[in-house]
Amino acid sequence: MSLNMKTLTQALAKTAAVIEKTVQTTVQEVAGPKPLQDHELFDQIGSAGPGLVWKLYSAKAARESTRAHQYPTVCVWVLDKKALSEARMRAGLPKAAEDGFLEIIRADAARLVRLRHPGVVHVVQALDENKNAMAMVTEPLFASVANALGNVENVAKVPKELKGMEMGILEVKHGLLQIAESLDFLHNNARLIHRAISPENVFITSSGAWKLGGFGFAISTDQASGNMANVQAFHYAEYDVEDSVLPLQPSLNYTAPELARSKASSAGCSSDIFSFGCLAYHLIAHKPLLDCHNNVKMYMNTLSYLSSEAFSPIPPELVPDLQRMLSTNEAFRPTSMDFTGSPFFRDDTRLRALRFLDHMLERDNMQKSEFLKALSDMWKDFDSRVLRYKVLPPLCAELRNLVMQPMILPMVLTIAESQDKNDFELSTLPALVPVLSTAVGDTLLLLLKHAELIINKTMQDHLISHVLPMIVRAYGDGDARIQEEVLRKSSFLAKKIDVQLVKQAILPRVHGLALKTTVAAVRVNALLCLGDLIPTLDKHAILDILQTIQRCTAVDRSAPTLMCTLGVSNSILKQHGVEFVAEHVLPLLIPLLTAQQLNVQQFAKYMLFVKDILRKIEEKRGVTVTDSGIPEVKPSPSVNGLHSQVPSKISGNVATAANSGPAWDEDWGPIKKQPSNSLQISTNSITSTYPTPGNEPIQVTSSQPNSLLRTTVTSQQTPVSCPPVDIEWPPQASSGVTPVADTEKQLNAGASSSSSFDDVDPFVNWPPRPSGQVSGMGPSNNGTIEPPRNKLSSGSNSMNLYSDSNDSWAFVTGRSVEQIGLGQGNATPITGGLGSSGFNPPSSIGFMKQNQPISASNAYTDERSADLGSIFASGNNAQTAPRLAPPPSTAVGRGRVPMAKRLPLTLFISVVVILGSSISSSVQIQAVGNPNYREALAKSILFFQGQRSGRLPAGAAQQITWRFNSGLSDGRLANVDLTGGYYDAGDNVKFNFPMAFTTTMLSWGALEYGKRIGLQLPEARAAIRWATDYLLKCARQTPGKLYVGVGDPNVDHKCWERPEDMDTLRTVYSVSPSNPGSDVAGETAAALAAASLVFRKVDPKYSKLLLNTAKNVMQFAIQYRGAYSDSLGSAVCPFYCSYSGYKDELLWGAAWLFRASNELYYYNFMKSLGASDSTDIFSWDNKFAGAYVLLSRVQILYSSSTFFHLISRALLNNDKNFEPYKQQAEQFMCRILPNSPSSSTQYTQGKHSCFHYWFITSANFLPAKISVSMDSNIEYGNYRGLIYKLPGSNLQYVTSITFLLTTYSKYMAVRKLTFNCGTLVVTPKTLRNLAKQQVDYILGVNPLKMSYMVGYGPYYPKRIHHRGSSLPSLASHPQTIGCDGGFQPFFYSLNPNPNILVGAVVGGPNQNDGFPDDRSDYNHSEPATYINGAIVGPLAYFAGSL
């Protein structure tokens, strides 16, 4: 029975498979090949391949995927098999010819998939076909070179870019150099002979690079050197034939003569050189050399009788090299790289500039700086195509280099002016995004000056996500130049985005600058900006503007401010009419008429405006008042069919301010007209300084386009500075403006929320001041402040309280509490008790307003609009608006008490506010505790087992059990054993540069914190030894050579496969005297020297081997100087280029050898290097800060005691030569500390400390809970969030810098030292607190409550960018997963990784404390050994301290 069931099961499985295949086939027949199903095709861009049979289409992915992020647009290749078959039949060719041609196409597609090189067209989706068509997807292309030369066959509608296209000689030269490099790779690395180099098989990508395709005729060099009988020969007809329909052999015009022979044909790499020469001739001479129409007899005749005249179109310096390439004698032909040495290429300065750009990432900053200076003088000589395709892409790539940004950005923005919107979005904007998010200082100013360019060329979604945050950040900058520029550009941006975003993100900040600035030009620009925004705003927002102007003019009545006020008033008149102006604007303007700062012309304009308003009121009422005070009724519309005929008396001609000329501000600058959008938006309720009509709401009407008169302030009338104003926004009514009788009415109406960029401070108004100092208070009564009746102003996040004679704080209520609104969207008004809302949660930009109760006396209704759902909106349904920055200590307004002094009172008041004075309660406070540092320490060390390469140990020595042996053939290509070591991150490559740094940091941590590591110390030593065993192999196997890496990163990064399945070429890379690498050698020496100290006591023999090897490697680094990225190029760049040069590694390596050996040689060498290189970063690339801290140990710990016994006391005892290192270490700390005057380090917002309040009342309340977000400075000082250096894997900088903070703190504590950063006194605790905050943030004390260490805490990254973790292990999936096999089912999956890489610290959150947990987002989700290597020390420090 069981057998029958088994048979039945097998039969059912086979049937299901057949059905599934049938369904798939049917779907494919209907929908076409899979690439056509997966992509949305746009216009045809060109044609390519043999006979130009491939149609090339621009396309994009039909659905969201990681691939779509990598290539927003792609090129889809389509071959119409049906049309091809019809053409074959018309030509009378047999079916076998068609089948043979399709096999050539399939062979070409298969080769393209396997060949991975920057010079070969990259396949995004492999070939698929059905009976009607073939299709595949590649990187985005511009066209084939054949199309660029004018051959546009098989292109239905020729794109405008190809019509009349002419490539300049510079573009041709550069393209030929790129093809030469591709051929060199093909011949020497891939061991292939192309045999079909021709225009239709060379492609120009959308970024301007020239690449090879068309490998259908390619053979291996082994085949060519063996028996050619096995290789199908080409058979060209002796006479003219039509062979363009189904070309079964390469175009004869570009084929080498040895391949064209029908008998005894041969092939070699030189055959490709001949074809390359023909291609070069065609491109330079603009005509083919051998135009023989596939007639082999004509071909031979032409070739035999080539005269010197044939080369007349060729530049003379190229002729000899081209003649050698076209020689019929194969031995005379040069290699492809020999050809590039021609003076034709070598002597062209502009070409050298393009070549430098090609390899720019490999150069150090000094070289880049010199080059960019030269480029700034020559780049304008480049034609537009070269600028767009050759210059712009590498410059955009280099924008990530913060040092070079100020030089590169102006060029990028200038070139971008000539781009259309689509081109800018695809090519330039992605490179600008990181700059937009991090720019400061002059870079930010430059971006703002070009903001209109960026805004005009950016789609709205990207405006909101990238440009608007930059604008918002610029408002918080203290530089007046930046403030002026952002104010000028804000109105332009406001026209492109939703008005609600304008009110939330821009308008409050304009108010803030207008109120708090002491720079007259900034205030004027703020008022001008408010005037520009008038056409887009409703009446509620305009009333806010009038309050701001009233506060400004109360303290600043300079002519520019007053004229700007008049300009704003004029805009309001045009937008909302005379009634609104009469009611709200005139009461503001009338007192300003007495200002003595107005000259005669300006006063006249004021009077003209006021009189015009009065005249319009008269006209509207139909009554004119004569000079004698007698009213005269004007004709009015008919009433009950009757018309009034009363005459009117108006003396003189009064020009209106709105419609007649000259303009009111003609003596202030040109009139600028700007259209406004017709919008109708509801806003939060506000309290106006001026009376409003009873209970009737003002209806917001849509505005019509109006011109806006803009004031341009002259230097003669602009004061340099102006007094600051109370910066609360929206402001509470001031007793000096609003009658006392109206105070209670305004308080009952509710005050608008105040906003802040800083951490939320709900107790900013505590303690209250005497009467007259705090706005919004009632009148004084015998020296006692009278509290506002029945009012708690929650909108401004403050509480109005009073003090009795015993100085005790009490909450005043008139009646019993009926209901409390706990931070809900629409809070119910509380009769005589609390205000409407509790504490608002923070948003991504600032604190948002919540809905407030509207009293019966409020003049405006509060219609709620839908949540924008954007980055500026909070998660609830409340109406939201960002808050302004808090006032400086000298500003007029509410007093600010340091949070540390307010805390006890804060906690008490929170309970009182929640419960009320008449409610009894019990309160529990739950605060966030310390993370489990000991657990995190153990897991951070365990992580390294998941990164091991080589043969893994058995049993407990390998606790990460989903990993197996890998890379067992590493080194074989160089006949050495290079197994072992670590894969650097989420890929399968071994880069020695970051691996050695990881080893150094692990060793340093073990040395500094060995006792605190405790039971994990053997595991830490094992992690170090796994690396040093490998580094010893790299340093000792071949004399005079240091191996520095295994695996081609360019190939590996295009695969998604387990390390156990690696089938990519394991190329071996090394440095030597002829190809030096002082940086990688210096770091390797540092790693070996540091590790020798770790093993000195536990394994002296091994320690001695490490130290001796370190000395030899260091000597190599010193003797043969040069950057390894210059020697190895694309093998290490842009992955691990030595951007900082190699001086830091020489100092770092010498410092470790000095500590390990105590030899004066290294001391003297360090002394020769000096200590003048300042830095604010520490990483695998830049070691200066680490070396300074390490060497400061000598100055701090040994300056007053006997120094190392091997060193002369007279020389080094109390040696001040180490003082510069100590000073540099302290200057580094000053650049990191956020409160330091010299700080250059950004921090994320990081509001994360949350105290929970539980209460149970005796009244009719259910148990409830409210969370109050507190300033993080309670525990840590003024540190707000995470150190943020760069977008790419930011936590690598956080962990490395944190290591230096804890270590230097330890050194200082031993001697009880302090130092100063300007006025800031830095103690060991200062550094320790900052370090603790960074470690805690990583372990989950952050806004997301997310641990960025995998496997630690309840919430941690689940979709990390790591091949081994994201793919099933060999135990669960023993079948091989090839290079491309891991993408579709695993990489693109939204499921969590099947294998947990315990202890891995990922790249971390973005600058907004956000983390998408996206496998494709390698900048944030990829772990790396050097991140963990640096965090082990700080974790051990805190694990042993608590």
Split the chain (1442 residues) into runs of 10 and give each run's mean pLDDT.
59 69 55 86 92 92 65 89 87 86 92 88 92 92 92 88 85 92 90 92 90 91 69 63 67 86 70 93 90 79 82 90 90 90 86 83 78 79 81 84 82 85 83 86 89 89 89 88 91 88 89 87 91 89 90 88 91 90 90 88 91 87 79 58 40 38 36 38 35 37 37 42 47 38 36 33 32 37 35 33 32 31 34 34 32 34 34 34 35 31 33 32 39 95 97 92 95 94 95 97 96 93 97 95 94 92 92 95 97 96 96 95 90 88 95 94 91 92 95 66 36 61 94 93 72 30 32 40 92 97 93 92 95 96 94 95 95 90 86 96 94 91 96 94 68
Q: How far apart are CA 1397 and CA 982, in angstroms?
A: 14
Q: How far apart are CA 811 and CA 806, in angstroms?
A: 14
Residue closest to 1406 by CA, chosen among 1170, 1248, 1245: 1245
**pLDDT value of residue 108:** 92
Q: How far apart are CA 1420 and CA 606, in angstroms?
A: 58
Residue closest to 129 by CA, chosen among 110, 111, 155, 153: 110
CA 367-370-374 angle, to 5 degrees, is 135
Report the DSSP beta bridge partners of residue 202. Answer: 212
Q: How far apart are CA 995 and CA 1084, in angstroms?
A: 9
CA 462-466-471 angle, to 5 degrees, is 125
**pLDDT value of residue 918:** 32
**pLDDT value of residue 1225:** 95
pLDDT tens column, 532-543: 999 988 888 899
**pLDDT value of residue 116:** 83
Q: CB of 1309 within 8 A of CB of 1325?
A: no
**CA neighbours closer than 13 Å in the CB half-sphere of residue 1144:** 21
Identify the sign of the CA torsion 1044, 1047, 1051, 1056: negative
Q: How far apart are CA 141 and CA 155, in angstroms?
A: 15
**Letter string b/e over residues 237-247, b meaning 16 or more CB atoms within 10 A of that residue's CB:** eeeeeebbbbb
Q: How far apart are CA 260 and CA 273, in angstroms?
A: 15
**pLDDT value of residue 23:** 54
Burial degree of 1074 (CB within 10 A; 0-12, 13-18, 19+): exposed
Identify the sign of the CA torsion 1255, 1257, 1263, 1269: negative
Q: How far apart are CA 655 and CA 649, in angstroms?
A: 16
pLDDT tens column, 971-981: 999 999 999 99
* φ and ψ of 1250, to 5 deg: -130, 125
Give every CB contact of residue 665 below 8 A, 6+ residues apart in sequence.
Answer: 563, 566, 567, 605, 671, 709, 710, 711
* φ and ψ of 991, to 5 deg: -100, 115
**pLDDT value of residue 671:** 37
The packing angle between helices 468-475 and 507-516, to 10°, is: 20
Q: How far apart are CA 643 and CA 640, in angstroms?
A: 9
**Active site positions, annotated:** 1361
735, 737, 772, 778 from 781: Cα distances, Å: 15, 20, 12, 9
Q: CB of 990 within 8 A of CB of 1425?
A: no
Question: Which long-range contacts does 1160-1166 make (Cβ < 8 Å, 24+ apart)?
Answer: 1160/1207, 1160/1211, 1162/1114, 1163/1207, 1163/1212, 1165/1118, 1166/1191
**Within a 10 A sphere around the Cβ of 1347, how many other Cβ atoms?**
23
Whether the ω angle into residue 159 lies within 30 degrees of 0, i.e. cis, is: no
- Cα 107 → chain centroid: 40
Q: How far apart are CA 414 and CA 376, in angstroms?
A: 11
DSSP label of 756 = B
Identify the sign of the CA torsion 956, 959, 962, 963: negative
Q: How far apart are CA 167 and CA 146, in angstroms?
A: 12
